[in-house]
Amino acid sequence: MERYKTRTIEKVLNNLKDKCPVIMITGARQVGKTTLLNHLITTSKEKINYVSLDNILLRKKAIEDPELFLRTYETPLIIDEFQYAPELLSYIKIKVDKARQNEMFGDGKSVGTMFYLTGSQIFQAMENVSESLAGRISILDLYGYSTRELNNSIEDMFIPNIEVLKKKEKLKSLSTLNIFERIINGSYPEVNSLSGRDREEFYDTYIRTYIERDIRQLVNIKDENKFIRFISAIAARTSQEYNALDISKDVGIDSKTVDEWISILKNTNLVYMLQAYSNNNVKKAIQKPKIYFMDTGLACYLTGYISSETLEKSAYNGAIFETYIISEIIKSYANNGKNPRYRLYYYRDTNKKEIDLLIFDDNKVYPIEIKKSANPGKEAIKNFDVVKKFGRDIGNGIVLCMMEEIIPINENNYYVPIEYI
């Protein structure tokens, strides 16, 4: 039996427990949402009940008579894949509000956390949540394993402040080939378990399940092969700017359909759209977001890469390496209960000046370049001066690369090994 691997987000979950009436954990299929909550059941001092709406009969009951369904189970209650029965939300609200009133005017019993919800179809769920449970819910995003989780290491938010980084635990340095093996394996728990489920078999099943259980629930896809071509085209464009017209020509669908389908990938947490930074001080900034696959193993599978050796030598290696780094940084924020969308951006302007990543922290902006090299050279920081136009306080710049140690480039910029993420 595979032993449970501790997730960074547990600390956030435990801090919210008993302070928030409803906690929702969102994430793509197979990232470990159910396992996380089952672990909560085994470690909690109070009994937590569990029900999954993957069970068709239970789902039918929840949809047809949500009030009776909720009466059947005592709180606290985990409702897994609750997006199948959004009818439950208004009744959950009623139960939470009644418990709050009782706490305030009745016996004074603390409400605590009454419901734990999980969902893998985010935009459908969130639309209903925002209407029904505003002010009553905390939402956590869960992704696949981060590298620090796989190494059983402490994972803090990645802050580029060089003084913070110097105090951080550095992970063991790996060879380039081993890094690409990590990239091609991806982050799903099943692929990274000790039993080691076959990678290709897992991703083949994953795509078929994803289309059958998620995509067909959300949109009427008449040609399944076209959707597979679409998702493969997105994987081939990871770390690139989103261009619906270009994708539409490649796949053979109109750009409106591309926008609709990219929204599905985004809101089922398969891809992340890194927003372009702009403000009134930078007139020539480009507004298009960049697309990143949140699981590099799935991206490699969709683009036909089977071995780490082939991947390392391919023209795809730079894009997938950048995707790996960006996804690890995103996870470091989400795993610590922080929304990366308000902190992480990239920059590009019509003069072709680009910065791979901007991190905003404590009212400072930190410019970051990502290089698959052990000796990137000073050319890597050539565009960092553009941040002076932003009208924001500026922190040090860093180049995330394959060097062994932190090395200064000049008085305010540093080479930083990727093992500090």
pLDDT tens, position by position, 75-112: 999 999 998 898 999 999 999 999 899 888 877 678 88
pLDDT band at 127 (very low <50, low <70, confident <90, very high): low
CA–CA distance, 286 with 274 (Å, rounded to integer): 13
Q: pTM of the predicted model, to two decimals? A: 0.94
Residue 337's pLDDT is what? 96
CA–CA distance, 282 with 285 (Å, rounded to integer): 6
Report H helices in 50-174.
56-64, 66-72, 88-105, 122-132, 147-150, 162-166
CA–CA distance, 193 with 112 (Å, rounded to integer): 34
The helix-helix angle for 9-16 and 33-43 (nearest 10°) equals: 50
- Taking CA atoms, 100 is separated from 68, 93, 104, 263, 355, in Å, by 21, 10, 6, 36, 48
Report H helices in 162-254.
162-166, 176-185, 199-210, 216-218, 224-236, 244-251
How long, in residues, is the chain?
A: 421
pLDDT digits (tens, 9 = 90+) for 160-184: 999 999 999 999 999 999 999 999 9
CA–CA distance, 17 with 331 (Å, rounded to integer): 21
pLDDT band at 348 (very low <50, low <70, confident <90, very high): very high
CB 295 within 8 A of CB 187: yes
CA–CA distance, 155 with 338 (Å, rounded to integer): 13
CA–CA distance, 28 with 291 (Å, rounded to integer): 16
**Is 124's pLDDT higher than 60?**
no
DSSP 389: G
3-state percent helix, strand, coil for the chain, nearest multiple of 5: 45, 15, 40
CA–CA distance, 261 with 293 (Å, rounded to integer): 14
Residue 286's pLDDT is what? 87
Q: Identify which of 364, 362, 401, 361 has the alpha carbon closest to the alpha carbon of residue 381.
A: 401
pLDDT band at 3 (very low <50, low <70, confident <90, very high): confident
Least-confidence region, from 125-129, 131-135, 253-257, 318-322: 125-129
- Taking CA atoms, 18 is separated from 114, 182, 262, in Å, by 8, 37, 36
Residue 370's pLDDT is what? 98
Least-confidence region, from 60-69, 114-123, 281-290: 114-123
| Helix (H) / strand (E) containing 33 | helix 33-43
**Is 2's pLDDT higher than 70?**
no
CA–CA distance, 332 with 238 (Å, rounded to integer): 20
**Is 331's pLDDT higher than 80?**
yes
Over residues 57-62, the mean pLDDT reads 96
- Token look-up 């929204």 returns 263
Report H helices in 268-387.
296-302, 308-313, 317-334
Report the DSSP pairing between strands 271-274 and 290-293.
antiparallel
CA–CA distance, 139 with 126 (Å, rounded to integer): 10
**Is 53's pLDDT higher than 70?**
yes
